[in-house]
Amino acid sequence: MKDAIYIPAYSDGLMNMLENDDNDIREKYQTDFDKKKSLRIYKKECESYFKNYFMLISAGTSHKRKDFRKTIQAENAMVFVDSGGYQLAHSTVNHLKYTDDIALKWSEQNGDIFPILDRPTFTLGMTREDKNGKKRSVSPYKNYEECLRLSVNSAKHYAENRTRSDAKILNVIQGQTIAQIKKWYDNISKYQFEGWAYGGTKGNLGRIVPALLFLHGNKEFEREKCNLFHIFGVTSNESMIYFQYLQMLLNKSGIDVQITYDSTYWNRTCVFGGYFTEARYIIGTGMASMNWSNQISYRELSKDFRMPCSCPICTDLVDVYSFFNHYKDDKDGNEVVRFKDYNMNIAFHNLYLQLEYLENVTRILKSNMKEVYKEFFPKKIYDNLLFLDKVFENVSKDWEMELNDRFLESDASLEGFFGG
């Protein structure tokens, strides 16, 4: 039976590090470690701190790197390539120069699974100040209709120009309501691929379950080889519990679809000194964390101090004093801790604890006993699991309003970004 698959999304900083050979990584980033095992946890043929063979990388930020998958030694990993739609939506890549053809070719060269180059709508209407203090639109696109037209053109390009039959390409849906999703779907679904992807939700089931049931109602997962549903950019540990339970309900209902989802939180939080400390179950959910500040001096830290964790990364960090006592001047000339070594190593500490948490959540859910769920999860999550049971007892019913009422928080910032 299938389990929901969590795909860790690797940041640009980690990608820059992993472009180095292993000896350079040891010399540049692991001077304070003992065994200095490989950080290529996705590579089978090396002695790494632990193993996880899934990874997400972005064509939007990496498309100028040639032979990238080979360079980072990920030939035998399962590589999900994000097409770069997120970067287009935020204007961090040039929408006139970064084309469907560039995205498709790079994705085929470096990935196993990848979506079309959709043009997300969630930044329409957003503004930000440029360096001169003038407000500029975040999105390079004028409106919903332009995003839809360009996304349909992308689906057409991918369908007509793909060269790898072994790769899995995902179509993409957009929308915050079923009416919006239907409008998008009616235009783009004529191009058929191996699955669907959905983003802009931050993992909120009030959006995701109606979208999933909409695709099921349109018999998308009954088509030959169309059996993937990917959820982009999950920020909630709570959602990860639901995704595993959704997968179990899909299995039980005989709906042949594999749920996958990605998150950058495990490495993104390190930029701010984030350090996962323990998994939480009945009191809160997900990973508790604390922050190591780069605004203080660690010169008074005991040289005998060890990290308060028994994970393989922290256990191998034998010189914590030196690890924290690297300094640089910030833009104002103030001395701050240089967190580069911290970011690259503690990210994998965070990921190790995150994966351990997800494994334990899966074990709890597979007990198949509501009494066990009640002991491990907060009442809100327990009640929501019972509600999902009810939904899957009658998947043909229109559950959109009830799912919205139960799962959605105030989301006014997204109103008006979608057509329909």
On whether both 176 and 305 belong to a single domain, the answer is no
On whether both 72 and 145 belong to a single domain, the answer is yes
User: Pick from 230, 263, 296: which residue ends a domain?
Assistant: 263
93 vs 102: CA distance, rounded Å: 12
Task: Count CB atoms within 10 A of the CB of residue 210.
Answer: 24
Which pLDDT value is given to residue 201?
82
| 291 contacts: CB under 8 Å, gap ≥ 6 | 272, 273, 274, 275
CATH number at residue 109: 3.20.20
Strands (E), 204-301: 228-231, 258-263, 274-280, 286-291
| 240 contacts: CB under 8 Å, gap ≥ 6 | 4, 6, 203, 234, 261, 286, 358, 361
Residue with tokens 């919205």: 404
On whether both 241 and 353 belong to a single domain, the answer is no
Which pLDDT value is given to residue 283?
67
Residue 36 within any structural domain of the chain: no
Which pLDDT value is given to residue 409?
57
Residues 380-399 pLDDT 10s:
999 999 999 999 999 999 99
120 vs 281: CA distance, rounded Å: 34
Looking at residue 320, its amino acid is V
Residues 19-48 pLDDT 10s:
999 999 999 999 999 999 999 999 999 999
Residue 167 within any structural domain of the chain: yes
Number of domains in the chain: 2
On whether both 100 and 152 belong to a single domain, the answer is yes
Residue 245 within any structural domain of the chain: yes
Q: Helix (H, G, I), strand (E, B), or coil: what is residue 111? A: coil
Residue 241 within any structural domain of the chain: yes
Which pLDDT value is given to residue 29?
95
User: Pick from 232, 263, 294: which residue ends a domain?
Assistant: 263
Answer for the pair 260, 78: CB distance below 8 angstroms, yes or no: no
Cα distances (angstroms) measured from residue 159 to each of 195, 258, 318: 13, 22, 52
On whether both 245 and 326 belong to a single domain, the answer is no
Answer for the pair 167, 389: CB distance below 8 angstroms, yes or no: no
Per-residue pLDDT of the chain in tens (420 residues, 90 and over written 9): 899 999 999 999 999 999 999 999 999 999 999 999 999 999 999 999 999 999 999 999 999 998 999 999 999 999 999 999 999 999 999 999 999 999 999 999 999 999 999 999 888 999 998 888 889 999 999 999 999 999 999 999 999 999 999 999 999 999 888 999 999 999 999 999 999 999 878 788 999 999 999 999 999 999 999 999 999 998 788 899 999 999 999 999 999 999 999 999 999 999 889 999 988 887 667 888 999 998 889 999 999 999 999 999 999 999 999 999 988 888 888 888 888 889 999 999 999 999 999 999 999 999 999 999 999 999 999 999 999 999 999 999 999 999 999 988 534 333 333 333
On whether both 96 and 210 belong to a single domain, the answer is yes
At residue 139's C-alpha, the angle toward residues 146 and 271, to 5°, is 145
In this structure, are strands 113-115 and 168-173 parallel, antiparallel, or unpaired? Answer: parallel
388 vs 4: CA distance, rounded Å: 16
Residue 365 within any structural domain of the chain: no
Q: In this structure, what are the phi and psi dihedrals at residue 200, rounded to the nearest 5 degrees? A: 75, 15
Residue 121 is part of which domain span?
A: 53-263
On whether both 90 and 218 belong to a single domain, the answer is yes
On whether both 230 and 305 belong to a single domain, the answer is no
Nearest CA to 12 out of 59, 47, 52, 48 is that of 59
On whether both 255 and 325 belong to a single domain, the answer is no
